A = this chain, B = another copy of it.
Amino acid sequence: MNMKSIRIKAPGTVANLVCGFDILGMALKEPFDVMEFTLLDKPEIIIHHKDSFGLSVVPEQNVAGVVLQSIIERMNNTIGFEVTIEKRIMPGSGLGSSAASAAGAAVGANYLLNNIFDTNELVQFAMNGEKLASGVKHADNITPCILGGVSLIRSILPLDIISIPSPELFITVVHPQIEVKTSDARQILKKQVLLKDAIKQWGNIAGLVSGLMKNDYELIGRSLEDVIIEPIRSILIPGFDEVKKKSKEAGALGGGISGSGPSIFMLSNNFDTANNVEGAIQEIYNRMGIAFHTYVTTINTKGVEIF
């Protein structure tokens, strides 16, 4: 038996970044999952969990499992993997929990195979995990999880991923402990949108991308506006409007729903402000009596990494 093994961190991610539905995502320093991989010399997948989320250990029903399976098939069934998963990103939080499992599995396996696959191939492998988790092959969590920083997924078919440079940003995240399923959050969206709203949205996306690349915090803040998805999805998140209002009053540049929620993220241009924003949000959910967890963190610029 081959005993080569490694341990990696797979970061949580914020998909959409308010105006960039399905095309933008950003990696977080915290939270992150920890995964350990051992390369096996026969085509089997052995999954262990070091957490209490009760996720499946059956490869076909496990996000990391289906990703590893697709890699084993590409390697003509000559290898296998044993993986131990310690999830710290709560499933269903909207912080890219399934993407961390999927991207972590792809990058971890690739390390053990001496990095024979390039980033595009890793994203392709990992999308199999997202398909299992949400029914849709999307890459707006996977790509920043693998690459770090802010990623643009211009197109899925063909896959076209672009790293967007960004200034330092401080991110306040709150995860109210309520359940919003990605598939439900997708279902309630309208299939058609007004052209005038779409124009507003793409103006904001262009503003956000140029603001990030110009290190223009004010422009980033003005562009964090979503006239299409947020008005619908925010209904599922108690306290959303107040969180946004109070966060801005506390100095946040702006923010919104992380992925399909229920987590909310707010961007600030310094650590103190991000802490003040956290305080303002804590007050709201304490008052509402909703259990929650908050993070104050920065952008993870490395993506999945060995540690």
Contacts and interface: CB of A to CB of B under 8 A. Distances in A.
Interface in A165-206: 189-196, 198-206
Contact of A202 (B23, B210, B213): B23
B154 A23 contact: no
Contacts of A198: 193, 198, 201-202, 228
A114 B65 CA distance: 70
Interface string A55-79: 0000000000000000000000000
Contact of A153 (B23, B24, B203, B213): B203
A223 interface: yes
A195 B195 contact: no
A295 interface: no
A164 interface: yes
A210 B209 contact: yes
A92 interface: no
A223 B154 contact: yes
Contacts of A228: 195, 198
B195 A192 contact: yes
A228 B199 CA distance: 11
Contacts of A205: 202, 205-206
Contacts of A160: 207, 222
A228 B202 CA distance: 12
Interface of A: 19-24, 152-155, 160, 162, 164, 189-196, 198-207, 209-211, 213-214, 219, 222-223, 228
20 contacts: A19-B202, A20-B206, A21-B202, A23-B203, A152-B206, A154-B222, A154-B223, A162-B206, A189-B195, A191-B196, A192-B192, A193-B193, A193-B194, A198-B201, A202-B202, A205-B205, A206-B209, A209-B210, A209-B213, A210-B213
